[in-house]
Structure 1
Amino acid sequence: MAVTQQDGASAGQPAPRKNNAKMIFAISIGNALEWFDLAVYGFLAATIAKLFFPAVNEFYSLMLTFATFGVAFVMRPLGAVVLGAYADRVGRKKALSLSIWMMMLGTFAIAVAPTFTQAGVLGSIMVVLARLAQGFSAGGEFGSATAFLAELNPKKRGFYASWQFASQGLVTLLASAFGVYLNSGLTPEQLESWGWRLPFFFGLLIGPVAIYIRRQMHESEEFAAVAKQGDTSSLGQTVVAERQKLLLSFGLVILLTVTSYTLLFLPSYAVRQLHLEPVYGFTGTLLMGCIQLLMTPIFGALSDRIGRTPTMLAASLIIAVGIIPGFAYLDSHVSVLAFHILLGALALALTGYSGPLAALMSELFPTRSRGAGLSMSYSFAVTIFGGFAPFIIAWMINATGSNLAPAIYLAFGSALSFITVIYIRRLGLR
């Protein structure tokens, strides 16, 4: 095996802890790229619907786009199984590099895809295949990245692992900033002609930077020690030995994924249901991204002091109880200010939950099976509850005529995760 030297450590050895800040940056920038490409697709759903999935009316066109958004999540469990097991067998670094290459391939395909007008159904098929590749990539990214961050410093696991979700806040910032620019700086004709491609080309530009940085990474101390002893688990062993913990980790993710992917629907919700200008839908999600980026590490660090579950219980209960009244008030008092206040409050509550979440999930699994355990539990939860959230919510609103559909879905997901956290406490796992 070829060995390279970086800051006095070999590629097969753990990185010194003084390099932890560099490792956080390496994970975060690659993680941000992975989720940026997914978020942009959701934020540009209305435009993509017109260009690639024209239908007899606007609603059916949008539903086709949301279905295409969701179909990528069907591939996530497969990506989680393959890349998660790969990470436990050969290392987090190699798995992370592979996932980012696959994401870039899917992003490139979408960026250059011909529209329905230009190439008929060929362009639509190209987008669907690209989404499948992105879904496979993202399925393995979470487990490898989270395991790596959680293993950097066990004494500060909450703080380090929280950057998994803080970096997703950076994604929301970037994607929302593009949404603001595209909807305020371009005419509708410019947006549909070429403007919608800009975020995807931006993702391609930062991709090589992320790949280069990740090539300089070293395995965590925990994994390096386990790999040296040859104490790694096969996929089958992980499923059999950790089945209860897989279910618990699955339950923990529900609230996060329901909230995160409902967020992608909100720009369309602000326009279609609240009749606000498109730019305000994106400024609302921009606010959420700022709060997520700033507050998630704070709650993660707090969990190192007081434990993982206290803020998670409080946050999930607040969302479960308060989200429906909040949306009801917004529906009866529609304004930009009310919309932003609701999203800001939701973001703050979510960070109280997501800050300790990655550390708690990581601590459920032993090091030898952590990559596969995290990837599988997260990806199955995201596939079932998150990927089709925009599709489900849009269908619920159309079927019921009620603008409270997003709140009902959020309350349901919050209740399930609240019960899971209580069960974990009663088992004494944390």
Structure 2
Amino acid sequence: MTNPPPVLPSPPTTPGEAPTTDALTTSGTLAPRVSRRVAVAAGIGHFLEWFDFAVYGFLAATIGQLFFPSGNATTSLLASLAVFGVAFLFRPLGGLLIGAFGDRAGRRAALSFAIVVMGICTIGIGVLPTYATIGVAAPALLVLLRCAQGFSAGGEYAGAAAFLVEYAPARRRGLWSSVVSAGAGIGVMAGGAVTLLLTALLSDDQMTSWGWRVPFLVAGPLAVLGLYVRLRLEDTPVFQELQRAHEVEHAPLRNAGKHSRSGILLVFVCTAVTGLGFYYLATFVVTFLSVEVHMAKTSALELAVLGLLIYSLMCPVAGMIGDRIGRRRTMLLGAVGIALTAVPCFALLSTGTWYLALIGLAILAAFEALANVMLGVLMVELFPARLRVTGSSIGFNVAQALIGGPGPFIATAIAAAAALIVAPAFYLVAVAALSFLILLRYLPETRGVSLFSDEAPSVRD
């Protein structure tokens, strides 16, 4: 027989208080001077991940010409996009290994490692010689760097969510979680803005010669800043208590599979709807508006940026709603809202009328924010302290690799095959509706659970 998992001793404080560290006041609240550092430390890695995501997507055609010259622009573009997609295959591996590292060595150590790898790879792409200079080594190195980026991104989200929420005041975990969710939207907007600005200021020859490198090199100082901020902070009060109690998990991969299966499956389901919804907002909307609706590319990009802006502004609101009415009801509201409004929203987009399309995007963005912010909190509250980063990383990254990442490709294929212009929304509706039904049956309410506990909340009977 195996021994039952050890139970952590109660934190050495009065009820409702967190253990006092240098970062906390004696009442257990986060010291004001530290709160901004915690927010930056948790959000900047996710910002960089999505900044790079947007930059590579915008520059895919140029990168294809420079690294996969074929004499055919379409072939080169497809090769470039294939490299873009291969990063998703390495996200689950990164989630497994970096997540386990976060449970063994600490949240801060895992986040610091992830941002170092991400920064080095992003700068590496910016200085990488092209095919014309070093031949086939150029695309080979590009593939290697993109795989390493996917690996680091796989460990970033769960680690950032744990770091942020474990520091957050108990009644403000939803609001604090919104930092990570909003960081993704702001990262895509920033990546698109920088790329579009360079495109407007530089000639085609300048962009091909050196301009395409600038956005990748811009990310370098941001990675250094993120590492500096992360290293200046202590690890979270929860992990420090694990260390004091000598209950740090030394086999998180094995034990997460034994003791956190329900949490992993629930995070998978939550991520399925939130990940797919965000990829629709961040990438597919531009394709849909420009290809299917025949809207001018600049207008399509403007609408996509505004949709992401609305999403980012809604994230703190969604966090406060989750803190007020609970995680379960907020997540269910987001999922059912996406399921019910996706088709009407795409109908508004398909009109080609600018303000109607913006209304459609705003509705979709609002429900996406509700679900996405709650995902960040649930990734922390559904797991025992000693297995938190590993378990949430597994569920999150497997869902992103299987459902979220391929979403735009599947939506594009549906659009090409179906005569009905709103048909791409059907995939989003199906995933959101199925996720809603599963979560309605099994998702527990986790608001108010102790993050120091070694017992995960039970699923609903």
What's the TM-score, normalizing by structure 2? 0.83
Deviation string for 1:28-84 (max 9, x for gaps)? 123312332223222333433344345575555444333322211111111111110
Specify the SS of the correspondent of 1:162: helix
CA contact (8 A) 1:162 1:357 kept: no
| Cα gap change, 1:178 to 1:343, in 2 (>3 Å) | farther
Q: Is the 8 A contact 2:337 2:367 kept in 1?
A: yes
Contact 1:15 1:219 in 2 (8 A): no
Deviation at 1:246, TM superposition (A): 0.5
Deviation at 1:183, TM superposition (A): 4.2
Q: Distance in 2 between matches of 1:55 and 1:409?
A: 34
2:320 match: 301
User: Paired residue for 2:208, among 168, 184, 192?
Assistant: 192
Pairing partner for 1:371 from 389, 412, 421: 389
Q: Which has the larger radius of gyration?
A: 2
Aligned mates of 1:100, 1:135 — CA distance in 2: 12
Match of 1:265 among 284, 298, 315: 284
Does structure 2 retain, via aligned residues, the 8 Å contact 1:15–1:220? no
Q: For residue 400 of structure 1, report the CA deviation from its aligned partner.
A: 4.3
Where do residues 54-93 of structure 1 align in structure 2 (5 Å cutoff)? 54=69, 59-93=74-108
Kept after mapping to 2: 8 A contact 1:88/1:371: yes
1:143 equivalent in alignment to 2:151? no
Alignment correspondent of 2:304: 285
- What SS does structure 2 have at the residue aligned with 1:265? helix
Asked if 1:21 corresponds to 2:36, the answer is yes
Between the aligned partners of 1:336 and 1:157, the Cα distance in structure 2 is: 36
Separation of aligned partners in 2, 1:393 and 1:182:
30
SS in 2 for 1:350: helix
Corresponding pairs, count: 418
Deviates more, 1:364-373 or 1:152-161: 152-161
Letter in 1 for 2:298: V
User: Structure 1: any 5+ residue segments left out of the alignment?
Assistant: 1-11
Residues 373, 96 of structure 1: alpha-carbon distance in 2 compared, 3 angstrom cutoff:
same
Q: Contact 2:161–2:379 (CA<8 Å) still a contact in 1?
A: no
Q: CA deviation at 1:375?
A: 1.2
In 2, Cα distance between equivalents of 1:187 and 1:403: 36
1:169 paired to 2:185 = yes
Q: CA deviation at 1:386?
A: 2.0
Distance 1:346 1:118 in 2: 45
The residue number in structure 2 matching 1:310 is 329
Q: Distance in 2 between matches of 1:369 and 1:188?
A: 50
Verify the 8 A CA contact 2:114 2:156 in the aligned structure 1: yes
Distance 1:162 1:139 in 2: 19
Q: How does 1:100-139 map to 2 (within 5 A)?
A: 100-139=115-154
> Which residue number in structure 1 is paired with residue 5 of structure 2?
none
CA distance in 2, matches of 1:328, 1:92: 43
Q: What is the aligned partner in structure 1 of residue 10 from structure 2?
A: none
| One-letter amino acid matched to 2:427 | Y
Q: Find the counterpart in structure 1 of residue 363 from structure 2.
A: 345
1:348-397 deviation line (CA, Å, top 9, x unaligned) = 22112222221122111011111111111111111111223333333444
- The answer to whether residue 398 in structure 2 is matched with residue 383 in structure 1 is no
**Residues of 1 paired with 2:414 and 2:76: CA distance?**
16
Moved more, 345-354 or 400-409: 400-409
Instruction: Give RMSD over aligned pairs.
Output: 2.5
Q: Which residue of 1 aligns with 2:15?
A: none
**Alignment of 1:96 onto 2:111:** yes
Counterpart position of 1:320 = 339
Tell me the SS of whatever aligns to 1:343.
helix
Distance in 2 between the 1:110 and 1:174 partners?
Answer: 18
Show the counterpart of 1:158.
Answer: 174
User: CA distance change for structure 1 residues 274 and 117 in 2, over 3 Å: closer, same or farther?
Assistant: farther
Shift in Å, 1:197? 2.0
Within 2, Cα distance between the matches of 1:388 and 1:114?
29
Q: Which range is displaced more, 102-111 or 341-350? A: 341-350
Alignment of 1:354 with 2:354, yes or no, is: no
State the distance in 1 between where 2:157 and 2:218 align. 22
Q: Distance in 2 between matches of 1:231 and 1:387?
A: 36
Matched, 1:255 2:273: yes
Cα distance, 1:329 vs structure 2: 4.1
Q: Distance in 2 between matches of 1:170 and 1:345?
A: 18
Cα distance change of structure 1 residues 281 and 186 upon mapping to structure 2, 3 Å threshold: farther
Q: 1:207 to 1:81 in 2, by over 3 A?
A: same
What is the letter of the counterpart of residue 309 of structure 2? C
Q: Contact between 2:348 and 2:359, CA under 8 Å: does it hold in 1?
A: no
The alpha carbon displacement at 1:159 in A equals 1.5
Aligned to 1:8: none
Output the amino acid matched with 1:364.
L
Instruction: Read off the aligned partner of 1:192 and give its amino acid letter.
Output: T
Is the contact made by 1:52 and 1:124 (CA closer than 8 Å) also made in structure 2?
A: yes
CA distance in 2 between partners of 1:199 and 1:327 (Å) = 32
Do the aligned partners of residues 255 and 44 (structure 1) sit closer, same or farther apart at CA in structure 2, a change above 3 Å counting? farther
Q: What code does the residue aligned with 2:433 have?
A: A
Compute the TM-score of the two structures, normalised by the length of structure 1. 0.89
1:242 corresponding residue in structure 2: 260
Post-superposition offset of 1:86: 0.5
Could you tell me which of 400, 417, 424 is aligned with 2:442?
Answer: 424
Change in Cα spacing, 1:426 to 1:356, as seen in structure 2 (3 Å) is closer
Structure 2 spans left out of the alignment, 5+ residues: 1-19, 25-29, 446-457
Aligned residue among 222, 239, 253 for 1:206:
222
